[in-house]
Amino acid sequence: MKKEKIEQALKLLGATNIQPHKRTGWVISRCPLGPWRHEGGESGPEVFGVRIEPGDPHTHCFSCGWSGSLSDMFYTMRYLNKHDPRVSVKWGEVHKLIEESEQDLEFDFDSPDIEEMLFGKKEKAHIFPDWWIDTFPPAWSIPQARKYLQQRDVPFKVAHLLDLRCDTTQGRVCFPVRDFQGQLVGLHGRAIKPDVEPRYRMYTYAGKNNPVHWLGEEWVDLSKPIVIVEGPFDLTSVYRVYRNVVSPLFANPNVEKLFRMADALEWITFFDRGKGGDTGRERIGRYMQKDHVIHHLKPPEGRKDPGECTVEEIAELLDGLVKLDDFLID
């Protein structure tokens, strides 16, 4: 997205103090999430940045720790404002800007330098030390977290294989995120109590995280069909019957994130019912259909997302598209 479009989008989202950074390549402002995530409802004047780059640009707040694409910011703000109205935003205009920026972006997966052509020289991942994850106890060992997992039909075997942890201070079940080499690159936490905001938290280490990585890189086999779901508990649900499942941790992954899975030739989307899932299916179809085999699945009637589906329902949907694994059930 070009600088002028970024500035326009930030203005529509209610950000102030919008200006290009002295270091070229970023537009900075107050954090648009200030009304919900910053004390007093407003961040400092130069804590939030949007990177000037092709497609859906990366955003980061150095104060509250938010990190993700501009579309991630858009959907997060819209969700928060729906449940706790604090801003007046022309959501349709912002969405149109993001869509236009992505439609202008076309690329060839066969190009050997495509990543650097699109996104510039690749930055090394910010590695989290393994000792850090051990400060979070196994989720199954904490009664509150174990009860929550059982309520969500997550068997012990799945919790153990995914190394689920618990943030006992904030009351969150946490999913370690590791890259293709098995290096720890993040931790994604889901609040146990329904009234805690934000529901999901992407943890940082030394003030940094790695929003481009997928949950599932550690175990995914790109030579087999991959099932793509929206959230971590959708992943645990599918994992019970088919282990080659991954999650971008957001409903609408940006182009850079999609490219990380480009070596998998057969994709099966299994997104939520509703507008968010429809947008995700449309985006993946738009960018990946040319060079990949794409199948789109939806939860059966009466189920909002894969996380609500039974083992039998998921097995029936996937049967014929993949070779199912042994079922993991208690």
What pLDDT shows up at residue 98?
A: 84
Q: What's the confidence (pLDDT) of residue 139?
A: 98
Please give the pLDDT value at position 211.
Answer: 86
Contacts for 108 with CB less than 8 Å, ≥ 6 apart? 114
Could you tell me if 31 and 47 are in contact, meaning their C-beta atoms sit under 8 angstroms apart? yes
Comparison of pLDDT for 255 and 296, the residue scoring more: 296
Question: What tens digit of pLDDT does each residue of 3-27 get?
Answer: 899 999 999 999 998 887 655 578 8
pLDDT (average), residues 68-80: 87
Cα(50)–Cα(216) distance, integer angstroms = 27
Quick: pLDDT tens for 119-172. 445 567 889 999 999 999 999 999 999 999 999 999 999 999 999 999 999 999
CB within 8 A of 266, min separation 6: which ones? 224, 225, 226, 292, 293, 295
Q: Which CATH number among 3.40.50.620, 3.40.1360.10, 1.10.3720.10, 3.30.360.10 corresponds to the domain 110-163+179-185+205-330?
A: 3.40.1360.10
Find, among 66, 84, 83, 82, the residue nearest to 15 by Cα.
Answer: 66
User: Model confidence over 218-239: pLDDT tens digits?
Assistant: 999 999 999 999 999 999 999 9
**Assessment of whether the complete model's pTM goes beyond 0.85:** no
Domain segments of the chain as ranges: 3-105, 110-163+179-185+205-330
Average pLDDT, the chain: 88
Q: What is the mean pLDDT of residues 297-317?
A: 96
177-182 long-range contacts, Cβ below 8 Å, gap at least 24? 177/210, 177/213, 177/214, 177/215, 177/217, 177/249, 178/217, 178/218, 179/125, 179/210, 179/213, 179/217, 179/218, 180/217, 180/218, 180/220, 182/218
Given this model, what pLDDT does residue 282 score? 85
Smallest CA-to-CA distance from 236 within 133, 127, 151 is with 151
In this structure, what are the phi and psi dihedrals at residue 194, rounded to the nearest 5 degrees? -70, -20
What percent of the chain lies above the pLDDT cut of 70?
Answer: 92
- pLDDT for 44 equals 85
Question: How does pLDDT run across 80-104, given as a tens digit for each residue?
Answer: 998 899 999 999 899 888 888 766 6
Can you tell me the distance from the alpha carbon of 4 to that of 61, in angstroms, rounded to the nearest whole number? 20
115 band by pLDDT with thresholds 50, 70 and 90 = very low
pLDDT score, position 209 = 87
**Alpha-helical segments (H) within 228-274:** 232-239, 255-259
Task: Give the full edge-to-edge strand order of the sheet including 184-191.
Answer: 165-167, 172-178, 184-191, 200-202
Q: What is the pLDDT of residue 8?
A: 93
3-state secondary structure at position 189: strand
Alpha-carbon Rg for the chain, nearest whole angstrom, is 19
